[in-house]
Amino acid sequence: MKDFILLLPEIFLGLTLAGIIAGEIGYYGEKVRLITATALAGLAGAFVQSWAIYRHGDALVWGQDLSVDALSLFFKMFFILLAGLTIVASIFTKEVDSNKRAEFCALVVASTLAMGLAACSADMLLGFLVLQFMNVVSYCLAAYGKRSSLSTEAAMKHLVLGSASSALFLFGLALLFAHTRTLNIYEMHHVLQSNPIPVQTGLVIFILMFSAFCYQFGAFPMHLASPDVLEGSPTVVSSFLSLGSRVAGFAMALRFFVVVFAKPVLEGGATDPSSAQQWTAIGGFQWQQIVALASGATMLVGALLALRQSGAKRLISYLVMAESGFLLMGLLVLDQSGVAALLYSLLIQLFALVGAFSVVGFLLDEIESDRLSDLHAALSRSIPECISLILFLVCLVGLPPFPGFIGKFVLIGSVIHRGWYLLAAAGVITMAISTAAVARLAFSLVRNFKDAGQFQWPRWEPRRVYLMALLLPLLLIGFFAEPLLAWTAHSARFILW
Amino acid sequence: MAGHLISLMIALPFFGAILQALLPPVGGKNSSGSVTRWAALLSSLAASLCGIVLVGSMRQQVPDFQVSETFAWIGSYAISYDVAIDGLNALLVLLISIVFPLLIAAESNRKSGLRGIQALLLVLQASLMGAVCAQDLFLIFFFWTLSSLPIFFMIGIWGGEGREKAAIQTMITSAIGNAFLFAALILIYYSIDPHTFSLRELAGGKLAGKTFQILESEFSVSNVAFAFFGIGLAFRIPIWPIHGWFTQVAREAPPSAFVALGAVTVPVGMYIFVRTTYTLFPETVAQMAHTVAMIGAVNLVMGGICAVAQRGLTMLLAFVCLGEVGALLIGIGSLSSAGVVGSIFQALVLGLGVAGFGLFAGIISDRTGKTVFKDEDGKVAIGGIASQAPMIAVVAGVMIASLLGIPGFGGFVGRSLLMIGSFSVHPVVVLFGGLAFLLATYYLFGMYRTVFFGKAVSEKSSDFMDLTAWEKAYLVPLVVSLVLLGLYPKFLIELVRPTALTLLSTIK
């Protein structure tokens, strides 16, 4: 019975999904609003339940296959919030037809269910399956703009590379299983401790699995399709995918790499492994170096390519890629402050990216183009939207006085603390380059401000309220960095070695 | 209580800026309304009043912080909100307090986008004030980088023909500069245990002897961080040869933005350099002082030579600025009390002089519609203003006299202190400095002769209007303060000297 209570958020999401589908099939009245409301209510319910369980404590449920701990609940709440914001954003855009919104809600809720499970799965096969579930749903979401060839192309690329990455994942998992004879990550950890894996095998397994995860992060060697996917999908979907599937990847990777390929460092005679503040790599090779390489390359490639883009959506997609590089820093330092900084940065990205993409979606609706050269004088047509776009983006890239900077500072700091000076230098350079990229975008909005005349885009107060509702927490995250960092540090706990 | 005044001084302009977005467009003839106009001016003035009261109530002969306010901000990373005033930054507080209300007053007759430019100026005032008062490296960095944004928007939106290029160039250079500063910041933070950003805790050679490793080779923290600080700030204040963006700004920016940059941001940048490097790396400063003075000399000479060739008022001002930055660096690099005190005093006087110059240049180009006073073949484009507008001529005369260091004006005191202090240490550099000043007399008076005395060029300049009452109201404070500083500098110098001596005593 306790297992069911701890899994209430998932069960609730599943019921909501069933309700949406049943409503879509069986009810012919005014179903659009009803279904949107159902979806939002279901998400809100699941959020409240997750919060209640977060306060309750950690546990392994269902034969140790799912780990309901602070970390997975943090991610669960993150995904639920993201899904809610996405569904609300879909009301404001013309890209999602209002008579198709029921399907959209169903897909988003299904994806959220999968992402939530990915965050808590402690069994690799289950993890693989939910990851596939999530990816299949996201192929459908990417193809949602059926009339647009870009959208179809995005979905196709996503599908092809996604299948390739899942093959890599499975192959790595098979090798790991052959050695450890178990699929549970905590058991794998114990087996690897008592019976170390040969270095070469370990290296191959690590590289295969890490490449598969890199596809989820949109990180360096596997980044090729991700900007295309984000550019081609309808804008609401871009914001959902840029956070959802990427962060789900991080949620799984954190648990998987830290549990399987690392062990806790116990200081001062402490005996409780779950109280460890930092971890050290096992398996006979320093896999952090591979991650560091990917991290540095991802950041620099992402930022440099962002600088060269001529489309707003694609520019933001490359900025997202650079951000993945920063997040990898939090993974490779293997200590609690790094993970806490990663989670903190994720919170900032949640609001910043959803906001930025929703303004870009608004611009796309109004001028049917996101070329930087077509955006001229947008600022004078609609000041609040454009100013908030600029603010969202500077928060994202961590321009110093804005909240994103504190996240970047802690990430870079924790990397320096471990002596990765070159990586830190790459991070600082990336910040400068991405600022320049954002300046280009900001600039094309500001340009021709004086000669735009009196022509104004239609005002719509609910959208402005929505943007304010995103901007306000974003700025507050900066002011209340201290309690939030404490909260994320508290969430960065893993249990049961 | 006094501590709250500092915070008030930083917070009031921010509130003013927010008010610009919220207040309804009521009253007045133009679309922004006179309510917002007065709200901007009053919030800036109120902040300035706090600043002037603070500086005026300071005791002389006290080297320590006289007023401060502190509380923890991000405690787990030892980041605190720590603002304080001592002799070193009091003059900069005064400079910001005097210049910004005048800039806002000067902009308040703008037809379009008044709210925007006022809000940006207010944000700039707050951030520069914060950067000057902050005693925590993180906080200094926070405010200093924030100050680069308003300039970008002011150029990009209200600039001249080539505003796009100028704005983007400014943004990129300041992003690079900020990246260097950030690198220095992290390096310092992690090289000391327990980690801290507080200047008070880092003072006293705590960083001496610390090293770090990259690829098997060892570097000294204080040397690398000093270099990063120097380079990072050089991207934000014009240092030859990375001054290209600055002259672009001079050509394209609206006058108030350029004044905010040249008259306030530049002195503040110099101050941050002195405050951080003297406090954090006394040993490195002792070794590198010669280099700093040399860079200063190169700047002074290059600024002078380039200024001779200029035909535009703001371009001339830009190179004057470049040269003066060189003079300040010579004083800073001398490591003598007279040199350092002279530099700090000169930073204030320079700021006031540049502000005055920029404002009257703005008025002239506004009335004549021209930005150059000689066209490409050397023919006079603006001339003979003195007979039609004697008040402008007088104001311009005072500004130029102060920039040149003619006795009786503030510039004289600062410049002579600076040169006297440096002569014993770098005689050759000072000699070059003297030559550069002779050159300055030539080009500044050459400009003055052409623009004010020469023949009036066209019918348009024959109906050149003299200063209006509003313009007088915001130019007179500048003239008065420059004269006062020239006649009775003792109060301010006695404020600076004890603090400068204490700082210097840690270096030797």
CA of B191 vs chain A CAs: smallest distance (Å): 9
- pLDDT of residue A261 exceeding 90: no
**Distance between first and last Cα of chain B:** 36
Q: Quote the pLDDT of residue B426.
A: 86
Q: Quote the pLDDT of residue A210.
A: 92
Per the document, the length of chain B is 508
pLDDT band at A271 (very low <50, low <70, confident <90, very high): low
pLDDT band at B463 (very low <50, low <70, confident <90, very high): low
- pLDDT of residue A335 exceeding 90: no
Q: Quote the pLDDT of residue B265.
A: 92
Which chain A residues are closer than 8 Å to B145 by Cβ? Answer: 399-401
Backbone angles phi, psi at B119, to 5 degrees: -60, -40
Q: What percent of chain A has pLDDT over 90?
A: 35
DSSP B162: T
In angstroms, the CA B53 to CA B12 distance is: 15
What tokens were used for B283? Answer: 């040993």
The tens digit of pLDDT for each residue in A358-403 reads 999 988 888 888 888 888 877 777 878 888 899 999 999 988 778 8
Query: Distance of CA B428 to CAs A183, A184, B286, B336, B344, Å?
Result: 77, 76, 19, 16, 22
Q: What percent of chain B has pLDDT over 70?
A: 96
Query: Distance of CA B194 to CAs A334, B89, B191, B198, Å?
Result: 21, 28, 9, 11
pLDDT band at A304 (very low <50, low <70, confident <90, very high): very high
The tens digit of pLDDT for each residue in B35-44 reads 888 888 899 9
Burial A371-382 (b: 16+ CB within 10 A, else e): ebebbbbbbbbb
Angle in degrees, CA B499, B501, B506, rounded to 5: 100
Mean pLDDT value of segment A33-57:
87
The verdict on A409 touching B (C-beta cutoff 8 Å) is yes
Q: Quote the pLDDT of residue A275.
A: 62
Average pLDDT, chain B: 86
Q: Quote the pLDDT of residue B253.
A: 86
In angstroms, the CA A217 to CA A298 distance is: 10
Q: Quote the pLDDT of residue A31.
A: 60
CB A120, CB A112: distance < 8 Å: no
Strand extents, DSSP E, A62-164: 66-68
Q: Quote the pLDDT of residue A170.
A: 93
Query: Distance of CA B156 to CAs B100, B150, B239, B254, Å?
Result: 20, 10, 23, 10
Q: Which of residues 158-177 of B touch A (CB under 8 A)?
A: 158, 164, 167-168, 171-172, 175-176
The tens digit of pLDDT for each residue in B213-223 reads 777 788 888 88
Q: Quote the pLDDT of residue A30.
A: 62
CB pairs under 8 A between A and B: 90
- Nearest alpha carbon to residue A121 among A185, A202, A58: A185
Mean pLDDT value of segment B108-124:
84
Residue type, B53: V
- pLDDT of residue A1 exceeding 60: yes
Burial of B488 (0-12, 13-18, 19+ CB in 10 A): exposed
A383-397 and A421-446 helices, crossing angle to 10°? 170
In this structure, the number of other CB atoms found within 10 A of the CB of residue B460 comes to 12
CB A361, CB A95: distance < 8 Å: yes
Q: Quote the pLDDT of residue A373.
A: 83
- pLDDT of residue B1 exceeding 70: no
What tokens were used for A117? Answer: 């499970």
Q: Quote the pLDDT of residue B204.
A: 75
In angstroms, the CA B57 to CA A443 distance is: 44
Higher per-residue confidence, A105 vs B368: A105
When mean pLDDT is compared across A426-430, B107-111, B228-232, the lowest value belongs to B107-111
Strand extents, DSSP E, B106-225: 211-214, 217-220
Each domain of chain A, given as residue ranges in start order, spans: 287-497
Q: Quote the pLDDT of residue B110.
A: 77
Residue with tokens 């701990």: A69
Q: What percent of chain A has pLDDT over 70?
A: 94
- pLDDT of residue B361 exceeding 80: yes
Which residue of A329, A409, A464 is the best one to mutate when testing the B interface, meaning the one whose CB has the most B CBs within 10 A?
A409
Strand extents, DSSP E, B99-216: 211-214
Q: Quote the pLDDT of residue A177.
A: 92
Which chain B residues are closer than 8 Å to A439 by Cβ? Answer: 152, 168, 171-172, 175
Dihedral-angle region of residue A192 (phi above 0 means left; psi in -120 to 50 means alpha; beta otherwise):
alpha
In sequence order, what DSSP letters do the residues of A387-412 get, joined into one string?
HHHHHHHHHHHT-TTSTHHHHHHHHH
Backbone angles phi, psi at A97, to 5 degrees: -60, 140
Q: Quote the pLDDT of residue A272.
A: 63
ipTM for this model: 0.71
CB A220, CB A298: distance < 8 Å: yes
pLDDT band at A276 (very low <50, low <70, confident <90, very high): low
Q: Quote the pLDDT of residue A273.
A: 61
Pairing of strands B79-85, A66-68: unpaired
Taking an 8 Å cut-off on Cβ atoms, the answer to whether A439 and B142 are in contact is no
What tokens were used for B324? Answer: 């003066």
- pLDDT of residue A456 exceeding 80: no
Q: Tell whether omega for the bond before B101 is within 30 degrees of 0, i.e. cis.
A: no
Q: Quote the pLDDT of residue A41.
A: 92
Which DSSP helix (H) or strand (E) runs through A318? helix A312-332
In angstroms, the CA A325 to CA A301 distance is: 10
pLDDT band at B458 (very low <50, low <70, confident <90, very high): low
Which chain B residues are closer than 8 Å to A481 by Cβ? Answer: 73-74
- pLDDT of residue A171 exceeding 90: yes
pLDDT band at B267 (very low <50, low <70, confident <90, very high): very high
Tell me which residue in A417, A419, A482 faces B75 most closely, judged by beta carbons.
A482
Per the document, the length of chain A is 497
Mean pLDDT value of segment B194-202:
85
The tens digit of pLDDT for each residue in B125-180 reads 999 999 999 999 989 998 998 898 888 888 888 887 888 788 888 888 888 898 89
Higher per-residue confidence, A462 vs A85: A85
Q: What percent of chain B has pLDDT over 90?
A: 19
Burial of B247 (0-12, 13-18, 19+ CB in 10 A): buried
CB A113, CB A21: distance < 8 Å: no
Which chain A residues are closer than 8 Å to B186 by Cβ? Answer: 409, 412-413, 416, 424, 428
- pLDDT of residue B4 exceeding 90: no
In sequence order, what DSSP letters do the residues of B451-479 get, joined into one string?
IIIS---SHHHHT-----HHHHHHHHHHH
Strand extents, DSSP E, A238-358: 262-265, 278-281
